Structure 1
């Protein structure tokens, strides 16, 4: 009988732990551009967007991971429920960030190989 009460109590403890509530909060999506190996990362709660891609390293068999931090418009915003959507345009290097609660959309892309930027949200 003691074991039957342990599982629900353990579940409640896990739900109350702050680290558990934050787990799995990211979404990843590859840019639709077919000759670009870039993947965008979204914090689904804050809307913050970053990106990484593979880069060649001179005189080395293994390359490097190049990451671009969130820049203008791509930093954390109001807490909501965000998602990333790729267009079907094979030449598009950016992705759409959508706020599933308000319907606002932005287009996010890497600017000047330095940071991810997003357009102002619009409906």
Structure 2
């Protein structure tokens, strides 16, 4: 029995080391012409981002430009967080998801402030603002939706 104790302690230490090694998740921004990578701390939900930048003075191979957490991108309540990128080729942000609660927020880089910012976490079961319409034009889009009305006969 005494011989097994060191083996169990070694296994526990190895498990703790592998858990610590897997404490971040990395996801590229879906924008096709942007070399930005997002990182989330899987326990705290803190989001940061880095991308390649040209080094104009002195030549060289360039540099890594990183953006720290700004409004909403800092540590959240401890949970199990991840990042999900959409398939939109012009989207520069990613979703931060809470796998335990189902809440999501959208995170993106504000280049002028040199920060990653995230919207407030929300879920499909969250209450919506009473005066906010459920339908209508989508902000940022010109013209009507190409999706035909649903549920009726043609």
Range into which the TM-score falls when normalised by the shorter chain = 0.7 to 0.9
Unaligned runs of 5+ in 2: 124-154
- Alignment partner of 1:31 is 2:29: yes
For residues 49-88 of structure 1, what are the alpha-carbon distances to aligned partners after superposition, in whole Å with 9 as ceiling and x for unaligned?
A: 0000000011413100000000000000100001100000
Aligned to 2:120: 120
**Runs of 4 or more above 3 Å deviation:** 2-6
Q: TM-score normalized by structure 1?
A: 0.88
Equivalents in 1 of 2:121, 2:19: separation in Å? 27
Aligned to 2:46: 48
Aligned to 1:87: 86
Count of residue pairs the alignment pairs up: 121
3-state DSSP class of the match of 2:69?
A: coil
Q: TM-score normalized by structure 2?
A: 0.71
Aligned to 2:131: none
Unaligned runs of 5+ in 1: none
Greater RCO, 1 or 2 (C-alpha within 8 Å, sep 6+): 1
Deviation at 1:15, TM superposition (A): 5.9
Deviation at 1:11, TM superposition (A): 1.4
Aligned to 1:11: 11
C-alpha RMSD over aligned residues? 2.3
Task: Pick the structure with more strand per residue.
Answer: 1
Task: Pick the structure with more helix per residue.
Answer: 1
Larger Rg over CA atoms: 2
Aligned to 1:22: 20
